[in-house]
Structures are given as structure tokens and as C-alpha cells.
Amino acid sequence: MSTGIPFVSGAKPGLGHVEEFNSTPLDFMHRAFEECGEVSEFDLGGLRTVLLVGPDAHEAMFRTPDAQLSAAQAYQMMVPVFGEGIQYGAEPHIERQQLKMQVQGLKHDRMLNYAQIIEQEVDEFIAAWEDSGVIDVYEQFTQLTLKTSTHCLLGKDLRFRLTDEFGELYHDLENGIAPSSLSNPEEDDERFRRRDAARQRLEELITEAVRDRRARGVHEQDMLQVYMESTYNDGRKLTEHEITGMVIWFMFAGHHTSSNTTAWTLLEISRHPEYLAELREEIDALFADDSALSLKGLRDIPLLDGFIRESLRVHPPLNTITRRVMQDWQYKGYTISAGKNVMVCPHVSHKLPEQFENPEQFDPKRPPASHLFAEIPFGGGHHKCIGNAFAILQVKAILSTLLHNYEFTLDQPADSYLESMPALILRPSEPCRLRYSRRS
Ligand code: HEM
């Protein structure tokens, strides 16, 4: 029945492992690895899923073409959120062209502009802080990156006009995705009705903005402008339905991934005060000249970089990187048959002692892993993240400004900052409070 692949214990009749996977996905995948080794199979309510652990597995999965291991088929639950005809809801040749448009919007000259926007948002954000106080890092960075992302995406007009409504619509869209969506994307539920209503309203708002911008003949430096001007290979422009989908796709890919990375990095910096003097020296040097943060953010800041990279190793935001097997696929002597999913989980693989010495230890000066596919917070191969430079720029810009202006210390016992993965993205569980005080 399991074609020889070790099958994880604890399956329930009719449900398999779906309940355990949905309630504690990370613990479940660690258990699967400990029990069965680098290849294990489990059952998500009838959808057989094979978990693959380690750099060889990552490389094999990421290098296999979509025709055999399909990302689009695995992530069909995103189609109602982004909309038909966008990304995984589009024909593969259309999806690739849409991806190129997203890449266009993340080019170097645009990034300089986004860095200025981020700087402006961070300054406004900390203007509301007192000289000292307590913040919840999850909540604060979720809010801040919602502002930076909407600003870079939609421009200042919509960012300032829409903040509250956009936040609510986006929340309804996000609620349409849960771990269970991997196995049952069409589950009928109030959450899905709200998701569809939110998408429709967002399309109305974006359509209005696009038409207004076209009527006024203005050209902004944001992603919306990129989408408005992009054309497919046959010369066709994106429709307003597609532009809305591109906006939602960008938000989903970049918002929580970046905000949680910012939160974890600041938590880890505060948990490791032994590096603070060195970190501060590095950051203060950055502010010693008058260059804009846009340039600072792109510059090499080795210790802060090390903290960000190590946070992405220890607390990788995306942990269910999945493909649908379209044609039987061989890996290490096993045949994984068509119709199953294969999955890799950075949270499990990033803790392998063969790849990372003392893997549980947080070490911002850890040398890079020797295998190219050992560290995969941004995935790899055909679908490797296109937003990694933007994400790192954003985290660096936010944290260097904060650390230049404030001291941060723990407001809870160091071991009380825990991980949680209520939806598809790993985040700090609440409370996750830090104390801050303005530097003299
Ligand atoms: C720390 C932040 C981020 C992390 C950890 C992250 C992680 C990932 C991972 C693991 C994948 C591969 C998914 C797969 O193979 O199934 C991915 C893909 C992608 N990411 Fe990111 N991401 C981050 C930020 C961003 C940002 C800011 C953007 C947009 C500006 C973005 C846009 C994308 C896109 C468009 C893809 C799909 C690429 C494709 O299908 O070919 N990401 N990301």
C-alpha cells in the first residue's frame, strides 16, 4: 500500500494524519522524520504526501521539471485567492510571463525607490513610539510591513487612502487559507465566502485606481505601474482582474514572510546581547555618513546579515514546500506514484547535524552550509523566490533604523518566545514582547 515508503504511525481511519498535521504541522513533520528517516509517507485525508528531508532531496525536487512535479497542482488552493488566470490558475506559459513581470518590478532601480519608501514608513512608525515602552514584535512588524508592502505595491495614494480597508480585505483573503487547504482546497465554509467577497472588493478598488491613473496620465514608481505597463509576449496588457491577482500574489508572497523574519531577527538579537556591541558599531557606522538608507540597506552589514540568515535557518517562514507528482517519480530507490504530493520542510532539514554543527544553537557567525541545497528558506530551482533581495533589503532597512535609535531587551523569559504555525507561515507565538528605550 505504501509502495515500500515508510508510513508514519498514528493514522486514523478515513482521516489519516490530517488532524495532527493541521494542528501541529511542524511537530508532525519532525516526528515523521525521526520515526521514518529521510523519506516518509503520510495521509492527509486521502491525499498521500511524501516528506523528503535533506539537501539531496531538495536538489532532486527543485530540479525536476513542473511537467513531472507540479507546483501549480499542489497549490491550487491559492487560485480563488489570486483569481482564475493568475499564477497557479494560469496556463504554465502565462504563469512564466506573469512571473517575469513581477521580476521586472523588483529590479535594482525600483528597489532603490522601495528602500526610500521603507525608510519613510519606518520613520513614521517609530514617531509614534515613546522614549521607552514595550512592543509585541509580531503585531508591530505585521502592521509595519503591511504599510511598506502596500506602499511599494500600490503607491502612496492608495496606501494612505486604503490602509484600514486594505488590511481588512487582506485579512479575509488570508483566512481563506489554512493548513487543511493543502488537502482540501474546495472545503465549503464561511471563510471562503468572505475570501471571495474580499477579492471582489479589492478588484473594484484597484480597477478604480488603475482607471484614475490612466485618465490622469501619471506614471508612478510602484508595482502597480509595472503591472499597468506590462504586456504578454503577444502584446496583450494585463486586465484589471489580472492586475488585482498580481497585487494579491505579491502581498501573499512577501508580507508575512518578511514581517516574521524581521520579528525573529529582532527577537534573536535581543536574546543574544553578547553580540550587541559589535552589531551596534556596524550599524552606527552605516549612519555616520549622510547617504540615504536606500543605499545603506543595500550595503554589506555582515553581522546583521548573519542574524537575518541564521533567523531564516532556525525559523524559516515557509515549511510546506510542495509539488504534485504528475508522472511517477523516483527518489533513492523509491517510486513515488502520480497523484501523491511530495513536500520538503526547511524547519526539519535546517536542523540536520550533518549539515549544521550544533543545529539547535543560534549562531549569527555560522559559516554557510557546504551543500548548495542545505539551506532553503527561499526554496530553490525553478520556483526559487524572486523576492529574496527585496525581503532582505526590507528587513535590513527596518532593523538598522530601529537598532540605531533604540535599545531592545527581553520582556519575557528567553525561552518563552515560541514558534507557531497557525496557517502556512511560521511566526512567533504571542506574547512576544520586547522592551525598548531610546538610545542616548
Ligand atoms: C523572508 C521572506 C521570504 C521568504 C522566506 C520566501 C520564501 C519563498 C519560498 C520558499 C519560495 C518557493 C516556494 C516553492 O518552491 O513552492 C518562494 C517563492 C516565491 N516568492 Fe518568496 N519569500 C520571501 C519573500 C518574498 C517577497 C518579498 C516576494 C515579493 C516581493 C516574494 C515573491 C515570491 C514569488 C513570486 C515566488 C514564486 C516563484 C515561482 O513560483 O517561480 N517572496 N518564496
Q: For residue 144, how many other CB atoms are within 10 A of its CB?
A: 22
Domain boundary, last residue among 349, 376, 403: 376
Site to probe by mutation for ligand 1, drawn from 378, 390, 394, 396 as the one with most ligand atoms within 8 Å of Cβ, is 378
Same domain for 202 and 347, yes or no, is no
Same domain for 244 and 339, yes or no, is no
**pLDDT of 187:** 59
Range of the domain at 326: 1-82+319-376
Pocket (CB within 6 angstroms of ligand 1)? 71, 99, 102, 106, 250, 253-254, 257-258, 261, 317-318, 321, 377-379, 383, 385-387, 390-391
Packing angle, helices 190-216 and 240-271, rounded to 10: 110
**CATH number, residue 361:** 3.30.43.20
Same domain for 162 and 193, yes or no, is yes
Same domain for 247 and 175, yes or no, is yes
CA quadruple 215, 221, 227, 230: dihedral positive or negative?
positive
Number of domains in the chain: 2
Site to probe by mutation for ligand 1, drawn from 257, 305, 394 as the one with most ligand atoms within 8 Å of Cβ, is 257
**pLDDT of 2:** 45
Same domain for 188 and 230, yes or no, is yes
Is 84 in contact with 203 (CB distance < 8 Å)? no
Is 350 in contact with 315 (CB distance < 8 Å)? no
Domain boundary, last residue among 331, 355, 376: 376
For the CA atoms of 159, 84, 102, 401, the dihedral, rounded to the nearest 10 degrees, stands at: 40
Position in ligand 1 atom list of the atom nearest CA 99: 35
Same domain for 121 and 201, yes or no, is yes
Q: For residue 113, how many other CB atoms are within 10 A of its CB?
A: 14
354: exposed, middle or buried (Cβ count in 10 Å: 0-12, 13-18, 19+): exposed
Cα 296 to the center of its chain, rounded Å: 23
308 closest CA partner among 421, 369, 388: 388
**pLDDT of 110:** 87
Is 421 in contact with 180 (CB distance < 8 Å)? no
**pLDDT of 345:** 98
Same domain for 229 and 187, yes or no, is yes
Same domain for 10 and 47, yes or no, is yes
Binned average pLDDT, 10 residues per bin, the chain of 440 residues: 82 95 95 98 96 98 97 93 94 96 91 87 93 96 92 84 80 76 62 90 91 92 94 96 94 93 98 96 84 63 96 98 98 96 98 97 96 97 94 92 94 95 90 95
Distance 387 CA to ligand 1 centre (A): 6
Query: Which protein residue has the closest C-alpha to ligand 1 atom 29?
Result: 387
Distance 98 CA to ligand 1 centre (A): 14
196: exposed, middle or buried (Cβ count in 10 Å: 0-12, 13-18, 19+): middle
Q: Which ranges constitute the DSSP H helices of 37-136? A: 55-63, 71-74, 79-82, 92-104, 108-127
**CATH number, residue 288:** 1.10.630.10
**pLDDT of 296:** 56
Same domain for 294 and 332, yes or no, is no
Is 78 in contact with 177 (CB distance < 8 Å)? yes
Q: In the chain, count of helices (H) and strands (E)?
A: 16, 12
Domain boundary, last residue among 338, 355, 376: 376
Distance 96 CA to ligand 1 centre (A): 14
Residue 49 to residues 18, 74, 121, 372: CA-CA distances in angstroms?
Answer: 11, 11, 42, 25
Same domain for 341 and 431, yes or no, is no
Distance 257 CA to ligand 1 centre (A): 8
Q: How many residues does the chain have?
A: 440
Give the up-direction half-sphere exposure of residue 274: CA atoms within 13 A in the CB hemisphere: 5
If you compute the radius of gyration of the chain from its CA atoms, what whole number of angstroms results? 22
Is 424 in contact with 320 (CB distance < 8 Å)? yes
Report how far residue 297's alpha carbon sits from residue 294's, in angstroms, rounded to the nearest whole number: 5
Same domain for 112 and 234, yes or no, is yes
Report how far residue 66's alpha carbon sits from residue 327's, in angstroms, rounded to the nearest whole number: 10
Query: What's the whole-model pTM score?
Result: 0.94
Query: Which protein residue has the closest C-alpha to ligand 1 atom 35?
Result: 386
Same domain for 286 and 358, yes or no, is no
